C-alpha cells in the first residue's frame, strides 16, 4: 500500500530555508491573499488553487493548528477556547436537530 506523503514534511518545506517546522504554516508557492483579490480576478484566483480531499484536509489541519497556537497553547490562555467549543457544538447540534424542532411553533398544546 502506497501512503504517498503521509507522515512526511510537505513538499515545499526545506529546513535550511524555513527553520523549524510549523504545522500552521503553508509552505507552498505564495499567492495573493483572498482579501486582496479584486472581484474580476476571483475566477482566475480559484482556478490557481489545488482542489481535492487531501488539500482540504491540509487546509483544515493548518486552521486547527493556527487556532491552537492562538487560543489554547499560550501560557496565559483564557476561557476563549472553551467558549469556542461550546458555541460551536451548540450550533452544530441545533443544525442537526433543526428538522425535529422547526414545527414546534405550530403545536397548539405542549
The domain segmentation of the chain, as residue ranges, is: 15-106
- pLDDT computed for residue 72 by the predictor: 92
- pLDDT computed for residue 64 by the predictor: 94
- Mean pLDDT by groups of 10 residues along the chain of 110 residues: 70 86 87 90 89 88 93 91 97 93 75
Instruction: Please list, in sequence order, all residues whose beta carbon lies within 8 angstroms of the beta carbon of residue 23, skipping any fewer than 6 positions away.
Output: 61, 62, 65
Cell, residue 66: 493556527
- pLDDT computed for residue 3 by the predictor: 64
Whether 66 and 24 have beta carbons less than 8 Å apart is answered as yes
- pLDDT computed for residue 44 by the predictor: 92
Whether 44 and 34 have beta carbons less than 8 Å apart is answered as no
This model's pTM is above 0.85: no
Amino acid at each position: 500500500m502506497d501512503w504517498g506523503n503521509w507522515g512526511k514534511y510537505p513538499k515545499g518545506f526545506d529546513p535550511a530555508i524555513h527553520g523549524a517546522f510549523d504545522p500552521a504554516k503553508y509552505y507552498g508557492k505564495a499567492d495573493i491573499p483572498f482579501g486582496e483579490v479584486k472581484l474580476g480576478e476571483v475566477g482566475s484566483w480559484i482556478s490557481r488553487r489545488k482542489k481535492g480531499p487531501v488539500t482540504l484536509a491540509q487546509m483544515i489541519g493548518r486552521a486547527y493548528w493556527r487556532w491552537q497556537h492562538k487560543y489554547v497553547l499560550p501560557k496565559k490562555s483564557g476561557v476563549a477556547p472553551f467558549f469556542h467549543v461550546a458555541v460551536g457544538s451548540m450550533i452544530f447540534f441545533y443544525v442537526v436537530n433543526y428538522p425535529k424542532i422547526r414545527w414546534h411553533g405550530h403545536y397548539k398544546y405542549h
